[in-house]
Structure 1
Amino acid sequence: MRAVTYAAYAADNSRLKVEDVPDPRVGPGQVLIEVWAAGVNPVDWKVMAGGLDGMMEALFPVIPGWDVAGVVRATGPDTPEFAVGDEVMSYARKDVVRAGTFAEYVAVSAWSVAPKPTTLDWRQAGGLPLAGMTALRTLDRLQVGSRDTLLIHGASGGVGDLAVQIARARGAFVIGTASERNHPHLRGRGAEPVVYGDGLVERVRELAPGGVTAVADFAGGQLDTTLAVLAPGGRHASVADPAVAEHGGHWIWVRPDGAKLAELADMAERGALTVDVAATYKLDRVGEAFDASRAGHTRGKLVIEP
């Protein structure tokens, strides 16, 4: 099969190449997915730069990518949940960094797989798993509900946009930080947008004079602001800043979980959740997708279509 690989860590795209590699083996409890779309996430190029080397072993050459939507083409022994021809999606992170989703095929554990919602096209489904599950896990950890005023740092990003939709579906009042050009989009999602940067604490306090009851940080570097606007007894979490744990918060690291992914699929089927796609790329343009992700100004998901 054709796949994107890199043979050593690199902080740039210099080691990325497209080559023929052996087809994946399909073990017990696994499914082989023909990849129709695979979302790009910042963790993909951070892993390539060695950012998780102290946490996860890498076996080179590595195929990057942790998101996938596609069609089941084979099943391993004892895999009654799925059949050949099923349309599925998965957050396909494995314990070892090696066989990712920027390829024509990927083998993943059945427990990380969920049916693809019919309301999302392939690109949207391919961009949903990691971002959507990160948003869901964060809001679950914060126990966000209808009585909450929730501040979301980075509300127009890939994770933040999904968190806005999930929180609004739960009845929370949502304040979201974003650049001014993204404010109409956030209002359309039912959130109150505020510009990030100097004066953010005052702007949030205007909307929530008593403070916010919960904060979800999907941007990083926002701990001082979070603590300044949090109401007494409030909860906070971050996906980007481990230091929150030293101040009563939660550092979020999402795990593969097909049941949780199915919750997101159900929301999409009910029309309560959608995925904006900013751009799509073929395998030979993964470097361009990484550059766009590094720039950090894209609203919506970047997706690889093998």
Structure 2
Amino acid sequence: MTLLWVRTRLFGAYFLIESLAVTVDDVNHTRKGTLMRALIGRAGSPLPVLVDVPDPHPGPGEVVIATTAATVNPIDVRIADGEVREAFGLTGDVGLGWDFSGIVKAVSDDVTGVSVGQRVAALTGNPADPLRAHAELVTVPAGSVAPIPEG
């Protein structure tokens, strides 16, 4: 089954309905060692592309989160289809997704207040980052992470 990336307006919002770049087999894949999957906007293509990339590792002040849910904001669609790339100075492949939730998988030694296994919500920052919220694992600054209360 092939899915379709469709941009539609409903009450002034854009929605990712489906994606030509992603099939059900892609979603139900088995991880390949230290490779993960990420959805990126490819320069010159209006469709997002699912790619295999190395697992990220936290740098100083960073947290790695396994994504459990991510939003599709209007800006994601506009970046993916090239509509606002110039405004952000984006020329190459870019990650998609701004806000997401997940489970902390790794933290750098200097991070406090966040621990491995904790459920969190987070924001990605720089639109030029090659990997963002639409990836299996996302690295973000610890200051962009908020614990999700139990219950």
User: When the two structures are superposed, what TM-score results if normalisation uses the length of structure 2?
Assistant: 0.67
- Cα distance in 1 for partners of 2:61, 2:71 equals 24
- Cα distance in 2 for partners of 1:56, 1:91 equals 18
- Cα distance in 2 for partners of 1:60, 1:76 equals 28
CA contact (8 A) 1:68 1:90 kept: yes
CA offsets 1:203-261 (integer angstroms, 9 cap, x no match): xxxxxxxxxxxxxxxxxxxxxxxxxxxxxxxxxxxxxxxxxxxxxxxxxxxxxxxxxxx
Deviation, 1:6, is: 3.1
Counterpart secondary structure, 2:92: strand
Q: Which has the larger radius of gyration?
A: 1
Within the alignment, does 1:69 sit opposite 2:104 as a pair?
Answer: no
CA offsets 1:275-302 (integer angstroms, 9 cap, x no match): xxxxxxxxxxxxxxxxxxxxxxxxxxxx
Determine which structure has the larger helix proportion and give its number: 1
Which protein, 1 or 2, shows the higher relative CO under an 8 Å CA cutoff with sep ≥ 6? 2
Judged with a 3 Å threshold, the aligned counterparts in structure 2 of structure 1 residues 67 and 46 are, in CA distance, closer, same or farther, namely same
Partner of 1:107: 139
Judged with a 3 Å threshold, the aligned counterparts in structure 2 of structure 1 residues 58 and 25 are, in CA distance, closer, same or farther, namely farther
Q: Please list, as runs of the form range in 1=range in 2, the aligned pairs for 1:5-24 lying within 5 A after superposition.
A: 5-10=40-45, 12-13=46-47, 16-24=48-56
- Cα distance in 2 for partners of 1:80, 1:40 equals 29
Across the two proteins, how many residue pairs are aligned to each other?
Answer: 116
% identical aligned pairs: 36
CA contact (8 A) 1:9 1:48 kept: no
Partner of 2:118: 86
Unaligned stretches of 5+ residues in structure 1 = 120-306
Query: What RMSD in Å do the two structures reach over aligned CA positions?
Result: 2.0
Q: Please list, as runs of the form range in 1=range in 2, the aligned pairs for 1:123-142 lying within 5 A after superposition.
A: none
- Cα distance in 2 for partners of 1:106, 1:9 equals 24
User: When the two structures are superposed, what TM-score results if normalisation uses the length of structure 1?
Assistant: 0.35
Judged with a 3 Å threshold, the aligned counterparts in structure 2 of structure 1 residues 39 and 30 are, in CA distance, closer, same or farther, namely same
Deviation, 1:33, is: 0.2
Within the alignment, does 1:25 sit opposite 2:60 as a pair?
Answer: no
Deviation, 1:26, is: 1.2
Counterpart secondary structure, 2:63: strand
Q: Please list, as runs of the form range in 1=range in 2, the aligned pairs for 1:101-250 lying within 5 A after superposition.
A: 101-119=133-151
- Cα distance in 2 for partners of 1:17, 1:111 equals 29
Within the alignment, does 1:56 sit opposite 2:91 as a pair?
Answer: no
- Cα distance in 2 for partners of 1:60, 1:100 equals 14
Unaligned stretches of 5+ residues in structure 2 = 1-35
Within the alignment, does 1:41 sit opposite 2:76 as a pair?
Answer: no
CA contact (8 A) 1:59 1:97 kept: no
- Cα distance in 2 for partners of 1:71, 1:90 equals 10
- Cα distance in 1 for partners of 2:137, 2:91 equals 18
CA contact (8 A) 1:34 1:106 kept: yes
Counterpart secondary structure, 2:88: coil
